[in-house]
Amino acid sequence: MTSNAAVQVKAEEPILSVRNIEVVYNDVVLVLHGVSFDVPRSGIVALLGANGAGKSTTLKAISGLLKSEDGEVTRGEVLFQGEKISHLEPDQIVKRGIFQVMEGRRIIEDMTVIENLKMGAYSRPGRASADDIEMVFDYFPRLKERRGLAGYLSGGEQQMLAIGRALMARPKLVLMDEPSMGLAPLMVQEVFSIIGKVAREQNIPVLLVEQNSNVALQYADYGYIMELGKIVLDGTRDELRANEDVKEFYLGGGDGQARRSFKTLKTYKRRKRWL
């Protein structure tokens, strides 16, 4: 990349900006504490952290799904292509081009693969075309072989179907919540490889929430680490993989070593310099 091109990319407005948001559940439980980050107009950005760190809540704040769980953004704002969307209903956010692949896949088991895919295009003007479906089958040939009821698909195939359904919406931004959950290691690698290929070839930015930091940092271009509802560290893929604290606490010790066992929270906090 030339220096002029680098300056242009740097100056380009991110497609998504989360600015100092706080999220409260049931009017009393503060879950997110001043979370801020950007998603550029291409590539994969990962939100990493342990279970309960606030990653999925962050996605719901973006996609407007907090209200269904008695949650709300009480401070800060979410901007999509420069427009504030924090106040919008979920269907309005989808129509603007944000599509979330939910944790647990959420496919409709008693509908066929084709019917599930067509559901993904409901927010678009007109109907899903045969070309759209063939595009999905090009990325997920397994789905083309298994066109029966979605409930008979394996867990990995259901995840492929959930991602394919998102592609049918022709999204401008895809949010993915724990795509590796419940999948065998070989299937995790296959699914993430396809996610990376889709992001590159379709030029669709992806905001990825994932507990499996090892695999996420193989494919993400940039990452943010969350702890207790806050962003505590961020950097490029290489910067995070080289960070000693990240290697110790999220990558199993680094260089293939086994993950360390932390006997007390006090020791854990003292070693983690960002807390």
* pLDDT digit string, tens, across residues 32-74: 999 999 999 999 999 999 888 999 999 999 999 998 889 999 9
CA distance 238 to 4: 24
Element (H, E) at 168: helix 155-168
Q: What share of the chain is helix, strand, coil (3-state, %, to 5)?
A: 40, 25, 35
d(CA 247, CA 104): 27
Highest mean pLDDT among 102-111, 219-228, 244-253: 219-228
Q: What percent of the chain has pLDDT over 70?
A: 86
**Helix, strand or coil, per DSSP, at residue 190:** helix
pLDDT at 121 over 90: no
Question: So what's the architecture of 37-64+88-242 in CATH?
Answer: 3-Layer(aba) Sandwich (3.40)
Q: For residues 195 and 210, what is the distance between their CA atoms, to the nearest angstrom?
A: 13
pTM of the model: 0.85
Q: Quick check: helix, strand or coil at residue 177?
A: strand
Would you say 203 and 156 are in contact if contact means Cβ atoms under 8 Å apart? no
User: How much is the pLDDT for 275?
Assistant: 57
Residue spans of the domains in the chain: they are: 37-64+88-242
Identify the band that residue 273 occupies on the pLDDT scale cut at 50, 70 and 90.
low
Report the amino acid identity of residue 71. Answer: G
* pLDDT tens readout for residues 201-228: 999 999 999 988 999 999 999 999 999 9
pLDDT bin (cut points 50, 70, 90) of residue 4 is low
pLDDT at 268: 47
Angle at 34 between CA 33 and CA 39, to 5 degrees: 120
**pLDDT reading at 10 higher than 70:** no
Contact yes or no for 168/117 (Cβ under 8 A) = yes
Alpha-helix runs per DSSP H in 96-204: 113-119, 130-139, 141-145, 155-168, 185-201
* Number of C-beta neighbours around residue 235 at 10 A: 15
Sequence-distant (6+) residues with CB within 8 A of 182 are 155
